[in-house]
């Protein structure tokens, strides 16, 4: 299970492309290829958990328009999972992809394995886990080889697609033994058989991801919430290791569940109300961003790409207007002086790379 490069020798990531898209600021989102797989990801990606009714409902028509607007603005990497809305996000994403026109770009799609969806037992209440208006289903953990294959088959049925490009193992925090013994070997078998083009692991803690990157020949990892303006814990080991191994890093949760999108009292940090000290820190960042003619949303979206291992930043979006706002924020580079000011104010550690370094 060692992780040599499949072409013979470790692939290394080059420095990331700078944020400016072709043409004027606020233009189309650029893309980059994974070093170890024939998969090209837009540098800003759409997370469709909100389309599974995360926290608040989204109607079917809005879900279609979110995907259409994203794809037409160059946000062509779309990520989903069975967990999101108990299958609703996958169903809506599939319907939205089917509604794209012949002249629209072809999106790259990832989904995840680890949880199967099954009917509720008699008298069993639904466990929404942050999603609203969900179908009467329950999540069943299954990291067996058969469970991984079933998960993909069932996801494709909900998506109404013949294949996805990328398959992640999803949140194996409490199942490391099963991940190592059965789930990841099954993902590698699916890739070897050509069923998917790339495989990885997605979770919100860097420690296990680091161990799995060392042990397996992965193409990509999805690190949620642990390489942001407020939390750079992924920088200690995981990101340098991925850069050396040529494993692409997709950074999810760049807003830490909302605090870095709108740092107001009551804003969420990692899905719960932000503690006062983090709210104060986010508000100080917001003030500095405004002083430098930009927004904390833009800084949060752009910051992860300062590290050469990061290939894409994955943000959840729930309306076409939000898509347009995030694309404009992402493709209009924040001034170099902002990153200097954040360091000088003690809001970013001096050793943390920023998009204007190098």
* Residue positions annotated with a catalytic role: 84
CA 84, 87, 93 angle in degrees (round to 5)? 85
DSSP H helices, 75-123, are: 88-98
Alpha carbons within 13 A on the beta-carbon side of 5: 18
What is the C-alpha separation between 129 and 342, in angstroms, rounded? 35
Q: Which two three-digit tokens encode residue 183?
A: 């789930």
C-alpha closest to that of 302 among 224, 223, 228, 220: 228
Query: Which segments within 120-163 are labelled E, that is strand?
Result: 137-141
**How far is 19 from 3, CA to CA, in rounded Å?**
31
CB-based contact 224:252 (threshold 8 Å): yes
Alpha helices in 18-114 (DSSP H): 60-72, 88-98
What is the Cα–Cα distance from 312 to 25, expressed in whole angstroms? 18
Which residues make Cβ contacts (< 8 Å) with residue 105, sequence separation at least 6?
71, 72, 74, 76
């Amino acid at each position: 299970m060692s992780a040599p490069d499949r072409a013979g020798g470790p692939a290394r990531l080059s420095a990331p492309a700078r944020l400016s898209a072709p043409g004027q600021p606020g233009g189309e989102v650029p893309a980059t290829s994974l070093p170890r797989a024939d998969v090209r990801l837009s540098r800003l990606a759409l997370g469709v958990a909100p389309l599974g009714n995360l926290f608040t409902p989204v109607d079917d028509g809005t879900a279609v328009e979110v995907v259409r607007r994203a794809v037409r603005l160059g946000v062509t990497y779309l990520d989903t999972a069975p967990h999101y809305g108990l299958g609703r996000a996958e169903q809506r994403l599939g319907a939205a992809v089917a509604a794209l026109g012949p002249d629209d770009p072809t999106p790259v799609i990832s989904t995840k394995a680890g949880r199967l969806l099954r009917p509720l037992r008699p008298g069993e209440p639904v466990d929404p886990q942050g999603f609203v208006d969900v179908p009467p289903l329950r999540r069943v953990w299954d990291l067996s080889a058969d469970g991984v294959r079933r998960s993909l088959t069932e996801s494709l049925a909900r998506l109404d697609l013949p294949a996805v490009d990328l398959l992640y193992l999803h949140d194996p925090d409490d199942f490391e033994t099963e991940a190592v013994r059965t789930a990841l070997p099954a993902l590698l078998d699916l890739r070897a058989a050509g069923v998917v083009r790339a495989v990885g692991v997605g979770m919100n803690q860097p420690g296990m991801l680091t161990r799995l990157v060392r042990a397996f020949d992965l193409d990509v990892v999805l690190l949620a919430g642990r390489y942001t303006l407020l939390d750079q814990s992924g920088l200690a080991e995981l990101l340098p290791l991925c850069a050396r191994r040529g494993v692409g890093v997709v950074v999810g949760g760049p807003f830490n569940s909302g605090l870095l999108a709108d740092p107001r009292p009551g804003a969420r940090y990692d899905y719960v109300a932000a503690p006062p000290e983090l709210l104060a820190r986010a508000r100080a960042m917001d003030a500095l961003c405004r002083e430098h003619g930009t927004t904390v949303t833009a800084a949060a979206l752009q910051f992860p790409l300062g590290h050469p291992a990061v290939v894409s930043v994955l943000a959840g979006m729930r309306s076409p207007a939000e898509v347009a706002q995030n694309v404009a924020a992402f493709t209009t580079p924040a001034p170099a002086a902002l990153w200097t000011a954040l360091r000088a104010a003690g809001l970013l550690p001096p050793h943390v790379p920023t998009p204007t370094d190098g």
